[in-house]
Amino acid sequence: MAEALQEQQAPTLPHEIDPREFDGPGFQRDPFPLYKRLRDHHPLFHDRFHNRWVLSRYWDIDGAFQDNASYDRAVYNPDGPYQFGSTHVFGPNILEYGNSPQHRWLRNIVAGQFVGNRLQVFLPMVAQICDEVIATLREAGEVELVSQFSSQVPIRVISNMLGLPREDEDAFVDWYQALIAGLGFGGEHLARGIQARNEMWDYLDPLIAARSKTPGDDLLSRIVSAELEGARMSPDEVKGFVALLLAAGGDTTDKAIANMWFHMMYTRPDQYADVQADPNLWDAVFTEMMRYDPVVHAQFRHTTREVELHGRVIPERAGIILYLGAGNRDERVFKDPDTFDIHRGDLHMGRENRSGRYKDGKPGHLGFGIGQHFCMGYAMARQEAMIACTKLMAAMGAPQPKFDSHPGISSPSIDSGGFRSPQELVLTFNPA
């Protein structure tokens, strides 16, 4: 039935694009053919159906990310006559701010916690959580990686970073799942997400009060007591940030780990042999995964003034969608972009940076964004994914896929939030 609908919606001319293709199950599973038609024939596509403009080429996306004078992210005005963030499932959070001084302030007060020495302090705990989760799997001889491993580790890591009591970790996992589902479409999901957020906020209130009085060395203490230009985050901002961390830092890293394993099991089993020989190559698996089929495929902006691009004018206040997943496959930038290759020589393979400009002169992937809103957790996501994959491979005696074929990575169904990943991934193993 879904396939039949997709057939009916197929455009009559080879290069013509029917905007309803973006909503079909074909795009959810495999958006790359449409991305290519966009790049080749409609580098600036005016999607009148969804009322937005679509950018799909690498350098156009890079340009939009770097041009704060023409493109902004703000959803609405925090000084408006309403409670900022009240209808967002996370509450007031940095994602709703644009290029304003408030954004800069909020970013600067917390960004340092996720890089450098501050990050290093948390890494032994990440390794310990991985060991604990792996210990629950050893007996069975097989693991459904998504539900039993990748969705378990990052959320427990964040709960521990925040310094929450360990006995509350399972409640935290439940709130996380409801919050993520709340990002999906439909009032019912949003209502459940907001309910979970409110429960979590009630839970956090006394902890925030206690940590403000007597700070420890955990992330929650650091966030509540961090000061910049003489000001601290308000309790609502702290709670909004904690809720955001669950999705921005938990769900994304969860999907990154699952995608890395999927590519090693099914896309390049030959390169899995290389990774078994040298586990440090998980780092390259992470980078190439972030290019080839990144966890986050799209980011949204609006224009703050008229913008001329590809001989056309985008009006002021127009909605823009930047398809990172399309830019990463731009054949104007990467050779054989549809080939997953951890040894590729034309991609910056090391750690990303905010400017997207590297000493080796190679382009980086677009999967963490670029510029003012560049992902704050880029270093943490990489380190955590590396530790999780390396430990699982070592503990499980080089797991193998249980089934010969797999339906592949897809975007979540329209009625649930979240990012691209395999829905399930069953591995068998031989523990030493």
Residue-by-residue DSSP string for 329-357: T-TTTSSSTTS--TT-SSS--S---TT--
- Decide: is 380 part of the binding site for ligand HEM (CB under 6 A): yes
Q: Record the tokens describing residue 375, joined without a space.
A: 């992902």
CA distances from 326 to 330, 337, 428 (A): 7, 10, 33
Nearest to ligand HEM of 146, 375 (CB atom): 375
How many residues contact ligand HEM, by CB under 6 A?
25
Q: How far is the CB of 96 from ligand HEM (least distance, A)?
A: 9
Nearest to ligand HEM of 190, 376 (CB atom): 376
Give the Cα separation of 368 and 358 in Å (integer).
15
Q: Which helix (H) or strand (E) holds 213?
A: helix 187-213
Binding range to ligand HEM, per CB under 6 A, among 120-128, 245-253, 273-281, 405-413 = 245-253
Nearest to ligand HEM of 37, 390 (CB atom): 390
Strand partners, 47: 52
Binding range to ligand HEM, per CB under 6 A, among 122-130, 184-192, 244-252, 406-414 = 244-252
- Decide: is 256 part of the binding site for ligand HEM (CB under 6 A): yes
Q: What share of the chain is helix, strand, coil (3-state, %, to 5)?
A: 50, 10, 40
CA distances from 406 to 29, 33, 60, 410, 423 (A): 12, 20, 34, 11, 10
- Decide: is 98 part of the binding site for ligand HEM (CB under 6 A): no
- Decide: is 221 part of the binding site for ligand HEM (CB under 6 A): no
Helices and strands (H and E) in the chain: how many: 17, 12
Binding range to ligand HEM, per CB under 6 A, among 182-190, 276-284, 374-382, 386-394 = 374-382
- Decide: is 368 part of the binding site for ligand HEM (CB under 6 A): yes
Phi first, then psi, for residue 333 (nearest 5°) are: -120, -45
Q: Which of residues 107-126 bind ligand HEM (CB under 6 A)?
A: 107, 114
Q: How far is the CB of 392 from ligand HEM (least distance, A)?
A: 17
Nearest to ligand HEM of 94, 427 (CB atom): 94
CB crowding 182-196: b at 16 or more within 10 Å, else e? bbbeeeebbebbbeb
- Decide: is 421 part of the binding site for ligand HEM (CB under 6 A): no
Nearest to ligand HEM of 133, 260 (CB atom): 260
- Decide: is 262 part of the binding site for ligand HEM (CB under 6 A): no
- Decide: is 296 part of the binding site for ligand HEM (CB under 6 A): yes
Q: How far is the CB of 238 from ligand HEM (least distance, A)?
A: 13
Q: How far is the CB of 22 from ligand HEM (least distance, A)?
A: 19
- Decide: is 282 part of the binding site for ligand HEM (CB under 6 A): no
- Decide: is 240 part of the binding site for ligand HEM (CB under 6 A): no
- Decide: is 377 part of the binding site for ligand HEM (CB under 6 A): yes
Binding range to ligand HEM, per CB under 6 A, among 33-41, 249-257, 307-315, 339-347 = 249-257
Instruction: Compute the CA torsion angle 334, 18, 186, 318 (nearest 10 deg).
Output: 70
CA distances from 76 to 40, 96, 195, 230, 302 (A): 34, 7, 23, 26, 11
User: What is the x/- site pattern for ligand HEM, positions 308-337, by CB under 6 A?
Assistant: ------------------------------
- Decide: is 381 part of the binding site for ligand HEM (CB under 6 A): yes
Tokens 């991985």 label which residue?
Answer: 130
Give the Cα separation of 231 and 126 in Å (integer).
31
Nearest to ligand HEM of 17, 298 (CB atom): 298
- Decide: is 369 part of the binding site for ligand HEM (CB under 6 A): yes
- Decide: is 373 part of the binding site for ligand HEM (CB under 6 A): yes
Q: Is 165 exposed, middle or buried (0-12, 13-18, 19+ CB in 10 A)?
A: exposed
- Decide: is 85 part of the binding site for ligand HEM (CB under 6 A): no
Give the Cα separation of 86 and 109 in Å (integer).
22
Tokens 């005005």 label which residue?
Answer: 77
Binding range to ligand HEM, per CB under 6 A, among 51-59, 129-137, 202-210, 289-297 = 289-297
- Decide: is 356 part of the binding site for ligand HEM (CB under 6 A): no
Strand partners, 55: 44, 322
- With the C-alpha atoms ordered 219, 223, 229, 230, is the resulting torsion angle positive or negative? negative
Q: How far is the CB of 95 from ligand HEM (least distance, A)?
A: 6
- Decide: is 45 part of the binding site for ligand HEM (CB under 6 A): no
Catalog residues that contact ligand HEM under the rule CB under 6 A. Answer: 73, 94-95, 107, 114, 244-245, 248-249, 252-253, 256, 294-296, 299, 367-369, 373, 375-377, 380-381
